[in-house]
Structure formats: structure tokens, C-alpha cells
């Protein structure tokens, strides 16, 4: 089952993001088999202001565990976090069912 995380950074938290980024990237490497895609959201100036991650996991509990284990979450980077079920319909220009 897929879940999409949309996480919004706290205001003025770029330094928190930058400090936690190496550990965050290591964590993504560790859980790579559970990731569909991941990346930062960018503000109007092109600076990171949040994250979007799509997980492929057994259930919501597994997705929540991955979110809480992320160094960004542990560092208190996020002001608001949304985790919802997700289904890819178009991937790499191919429309699926």
C-alpha cells in the first residue's frame, strides 16, 4: 500500500534542515526499499520549505513508523505533517489504471 507524506517545515527552520540533512539522506538510503520517491518542496525562491515522500509499505502503522524514524522528524523540522493513502496513476509518462 502506498502512502504520501506532505510535511511542511517550521518557519525559519532552514538551519535545522541543513544540519539534519546528512542523517536524513542516510536514513533514506536505509529505507530505500520502502520508497517510491522523495524530495523537498521549494518556496518561491527555490529554497526547501517541506518534504514529499511516497512510501510503499504494508499498512499505515508501517508508514507512521518510517515518518517518526526520519531524522528530520526527530529534529523537530516540521510544523505540519499529513500522511494519506496514495495511488500512482501516471508514472514516467505512462497512464495506468
CA distances from 14 to 40, 43, 67, 78 (A): 12, 12, 19, 11
Contacts of 93 (CB under 8 A, 6+ apart): none
How do residues 25-45 score in pLDDT, each as one tens digit? 999 999 999 999 999 999 999
Superfamily of domain 2-90 in the CATH hierarchy:
Dimeric alpha+beta barrel (3.30.70.1060)
The model's pTM is 0.93
Please report the pLDDT score of residue 97 as a whole number: 61
**Percent of the chain scoring above 90 in pLDDT:** 96
Element (H, E) at 19: helix 14-30
Give the pLDDT confidence score for residue 78 in this predicted structure: 98
Report the distance separating Cα 55 and Cα 44, nearest Å. 27
Q: What is the pLDDT of residues 51-76, one digit of tens each?
A: 999 999 999 999 999 999 999 999 99
Element (H, E) at 7: strand 2-9
Amino acid at each position: 500500500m502506498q502512502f504520501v507524506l506532505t510535511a511542511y517545515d517550521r518557519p525559519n527552520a532552514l538551519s535545522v534542515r541543513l544540519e539534519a540533512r546528512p542523517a536524513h539522506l542516510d536514513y533514506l538510503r536505509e529505507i530505500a526499499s520502502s520508497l517510491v520517491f522523495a524530495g523537498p518542496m521549494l518556496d518561491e525562491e527555490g529554497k526547501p520549505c517541506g518534504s514529499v515522500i511516497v512510501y510503499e509499505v504494508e499498512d499505515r502503522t508501517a508508514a507512521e513508523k518510517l515518518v517518526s524514524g526520519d531524522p528530520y522528524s526527530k529534529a523537530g523540522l516540521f510544523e505540519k505533517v499529513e500522511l494519506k493513502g496514495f495511488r500512482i496513476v501516471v508514472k514516467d509518462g505512462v497512464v495506468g489504471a
